Amino acid sequence: MNFVIEHLSKRFEDKVVLRDICFTFTEGRIYGLLGRNGAGKTTLFNCLNRDLKADGGAFWLETDGRRSEVTADDIGYVLSTPTVPEFLTGREFLRFFLDINEQKLPNPKSLDAYFDDMSIAPEDRDKLMKDYSHGMKNKMQMLINIIAQPNILLLDEPLTSLDVVVAEEMKQLLRSLKQGRITIFSTHIMDLALDLCDEIVLLSHGELEVVEKSDSDNNAFKERIIAALREDGDA
Residue 140, Ramachandran bin (φ over 0: left; ψ between -120 and 50: alpha; else beta)? alpha
Q: What is the pTM of this model?
A: 0.85
For residues 122 and 75, give the distance between their C-alpha atoms in angstroms, rounded to a whole number.
29
Backbone angles phi, psi at 38, to 5 degrees: 90, 5
Separation of alpha carbons 100 and 28, rounded Å: 28
2-234: CATH number: 3.40.50.300
CA 114 to chain centroid, in Å, comes to 20
7: left (phi over 0), alpha (psi -120 to 50) or beta: left
State residue 234's pLDDT score. Answer: 45
3-state SS of the chain is: CEEEEEEEEEEECCEEEEEEEEEEEECCCEEEEECCCCCCHHHHHHHHCCCCCCCEEEEEEEECCEEECCCHHHEEEECCCCCCCCCCEHHHHHHHHHHHCHHHCCCCCCHHHHHHHCCCCHHHCCCEHHHCCHHHHHHHHHHHHHHCCCCEEEEECCCCCCCHHHHHHHHHHHHHCCCCCEEEEEECCHHHHHHHCCEEEEEECCEEEEECCCCCCCHHHHHHHHHHHHHHHHC
pLDDT tens, 176-201?
Answer: 888 889 999 888 777 778 888 888 89
Model pLDDT, residue 177: 81
Strands 207-211 vs 199-204: parallel, antiparallel or unpaired? antiparallel
The overall average pLDDT reported for the chain is 86
Q: What is the pLDDT of residues 110-120, one digit of tens each?
A: 999 999 988 89
- The predicted pLDDT at position 85 comes to 92
Residues of the chain predicted below pLDDT 70? 160-162, 213-221, 228-235
What pLDDT is recorded for position 235?
Answer: 43
